[in-house]
Structure 1
Amino acid sequence: MSEEGRFTIQLEQQEGFQIKVAFDWKRVPDLLMDEPPPLGEQQGPNASRMLAAAAANCLSASLLYCVFKEEPPENCLTAEATCIMVRNERKKLRIGGMEIRLIVADVVKESPRFARCKDLFEDFCVVSASIRQGIPMKVTLVDRQGEVLHASE
């Protein structure tokens, strides 16, 4: 698979389990993420919730783009993202599945493009399609001087 682009998001631990996320777009405000108790104080979404939100957002945008192309009408779609947490064979907590429900207004389903788009939009969602395929990930742990302390295979 060829690389089509790349972006980098900066994360910085604040206090406890609170992590400030600085996006690579100047107009996007920083986001505070946190873990639920007993680890954190639930001052922001945790990573599992962000992943579920990302999948639902991507699917929503893919459907709206396919149906309307340019500018979709306001308030024509809502979504629900359910993340199913499970324990693996080693008793480690994992995301076992996601259920994404898109609820569309009549203006969406009555669009001339809807019949075709309802069968196509999932394939154009970068996030959900990537999750379904399994995303290769390289993890490197370095100290502040840049010395590699650990690297995943």
Structure 2
Amino acid sequence: MSEQGRFTIHLEQQDDYQITVNFDWKKAADLLMDEPPPLGETSGPNASRLLAAAAANCLSASLLYCLAKDEPPAHALKAEATCIVVRNEQRRLRIGGMEVRLIVSDELAGSPRFNRCKDLFEDFCVVSASIREGIPIKVEVVDGQGALLHSAH
């Protein structure tokens, strides 16, 4: 697989389960993540909520780009993302499914490009298409000096 477009973000644990995410874009604000009780205090979204937001955002941007290219009208699209949390055979929580609803303005729905775009935009969404296909994840645990303590593929 090509590493074209590779990027790295940095996360750092603060207190308890609060983790600050530092993005690789200078203008992007840091993001505080947290877990719901009993672990955390819901001081920020957890990973499941960010995954749902990422899929809905990507689908929204893809549809907007297809319909309006460089000048999408303001406030013309809303989205709702529902994450369905289930337990697997080992009773571990997993995301069993996701439902994304895009709510478009009359202006977008009336676009001459709408019929063409409704059949194309999902294929151009990096996040939802990757989730559907399954994303291989390599995990490493290293100590403060960089020595490998664990590796899984």
Quickly name the TM-score band, shorter chain normalised. Answer: over 0.9
Hey, what does 1:7 align to over in structure 2?
7
Hey, what does 1:105 align to over in structure 2?
105
DSSP 3-state at the match of 2:108: helix
Hey, what does 1:117 align to over in structure 2?
117
Hey, what does 2:75 align to over in structure 1?
75
DSSP 3-state at the match of 1:130: helix
Q: Deviations over 1:95-133 (max 9, x none)?
A: 000000000010001111111000100000000000000
Hey, what does 1:31 align to over in structure 2?
31
Equivalent-residue separation in structure 1 for 2:59 and 2:24 (angstroms): 22
Equivalent-residue separation in structure 1 for 2:68 and 2:148 (angstroms): 48
DSSP 3-state at the match of 1:98: strand
Equivalent-residue separation in structure 1 for 2:29 and 2:103 (angstroms): 28
Hey, what does 1:88 align to over in structure 2?
88
Q: Which runs of 5+ in 2 are unaligned?
A: none
Q: Which runs of 5+ in 1 are unaligned?
A: none
Amino acid at match of 2:27: R
Amino acid at match of 2:146: G
Hey, what does 1:145 align to over in structure 2?
145
Aligned: 1:131 with 2:131: yes
Paired residues in the alignment total 153
Instruction: Return the offset for 1:138.
Output: 0.2
Amino acid at match of 1:124: F
Hey, what does 2:57 align to over in structure 1?
57
User: TM-score w.r.t. structure 1 length?
Assistant: 0.99
Instruction: Return the offset for 1:71.
Output: 1.2
Q: Percent identity?
A: 73
Hey, what does 1:45 align to over in structure 2?
45
Instruction: Return the offset for 1:26.
Output: 0.4
Equivalent-residue separation in structure 2 for 1:2 and 1:9 (angstroms): 19
RMSD: 0.6
Equivalent-residue separation in structure 2 for 1:13 and 1:82 (angstroms): 27
